[in-house]
Homo-oligomer: A and B are copies of this chain.
Amino acid sequence: MQAENFSHWMTCVQQEMELTLARLLPDAAHAPQTLHSAMRYSTLEGGKRARPLLVYAAGELCGASADNLARIAAAVELVHVYSLVHDDMPCMDDDVLRRGKATCHVAFDEATALLTGDALQTLAFDLLSQPMAGIEPATQLALVQTLARASGHAGMAGGQAIDLASVGLELSLPELEYMHLMKTGALIRAAVMLGAQAGTPLSSDELARLDHFAKCIGLAFQVVDDVLDVDADSQALGKTAGKDAANDKPTYVSLMGLARAREFARELSSDAFDALEPFAGKAARLRELGRYIVERSF
């Protein structure tokens, strides 16, 4: 019953996100048409919307309004999508398949993919800086700060740079963890913190607990990704499988082995759930979502 509720909630959030993104992205009929089409193509009809789901689940915990959560979740998702578009380009991972579709530079061209990623990032900050009812401007500025810090040189982009530099190197486990904490962890933590700051103010202890939850789930998400990369075939994954091993990139599986990596993901998620304990029933969604992220088998 609980599981059914969760699955229903998840579908509702995903549909709401799709509608919100479709509404907020520029119209493909307006010039520059190619750029607008590529922005929509790369963003719409794809992805599990893990980060938006985290925004909504954290937002439920503090009674944030649905309108504000939709806008915040869209901003976080746009940053994520921009990073995928650029990451797939020939000079980076050179990938042709993403979310079950041709990547942006394949469907359009490289120059368009470059501009599409750029414009999606800008749109994220555009959306997040538009006045939101019920959120103080000072709080909203802090939201913009949170997203910027998580996305830039000390967060996601920095993590990608470390990832680039680590190809073919022997990374230690702490080094691999540091890279993932920046590359994927920073934006996942930002998703939870943005949702948690959009409603009734939480105490600093509560925010720290949510951040720890997000940090553990973020790492678990990555460990699971590494497991799926060797485990699943491309069709189920919606992107090219076995890519990391082929690129000689260090992964949790290459450092720990498959069985230990699975176990590590479970340990991280148990650590994450411990952090949520004081929230009791208020964190039910976050708990279910954390479980879903770690146990996903798509």
User: Which 7 pairs show the lowest CB-CB distances between chains A and B?
Assistant: A122-B152, A91-B110, A137-B137, A126-B148, A35-B161, A32-B161, A129-B144
- For this complex, 26 residue pairs linking A to B, each with C-beta atoms less than 8 Å apart, are A26-B154, A32-B153, A32-B158, A32-B161, A35-B153, A35-B157, A83-B118, A91-B111, A111-B164, A115-B157, A115-B161, A115-B164, A118-B157, A119-B157, A122-B157, A123-B148, A125-B144, A125-B148, A126-B149, A129-B145, A130-B145, A131-B141, A136-B137, A137-B137, A137-B141, A140-B141
Using a CB–CB cutoff of 8 Å, the interface residues on chain A facing chain B are: 26, 31-32, 34-36, 39, 82-83, 86, 89, 91-92, 109-112, 114-115, 117-119, 121-123, 125-126, 129-131, 136-138, 140-142, 144-145, 147-149, 151-154, 157-158, 160-162, 164-165
Q: Which of A31, A91, A109, A161 has the most CB of B within 10 A?
A: A161
- A contacts with B: majority SS: helix
Closest B residue, CB atoms, query A113: B91
Selected from B32, B130, B147, the residue in CB contact (under 8 A) with A165 is B32
Knowing A89-B114, A137-B137 touch, does A148 contact B129 (C-beta < 8 A)? yes
Knowing A26-B153, A148-B129, A153-B39 touch, does A119 contact B158 (C-beta < 8 A)? yes
A119: B residues at CB distance < 8 A: 152-153, 157-158, 161
Please report the C-alpha to C-alpha distance between residue A145 and residue B165 in the assembled complex, in whole angstroms. Answer: 34
Closest B residue, CB atoms, query A162: B32
A183 to chain B, nearest CB (A): 10
Please report the C-alpha to C-alpha distance between residue A110 and residue B111 in the assembled complex, in whole angstroms. Answer: 13
Please report the C-alpha to C-alpha distance between residue A111 and residue B92 in the assembled complex, in whole angstroms. Answer: 6
B114:A86 contact, CB within 8 angstroms: yes
A153: B residues at CB distance < 8 A: 26, 32, 35-36, 39, 119, 122-123
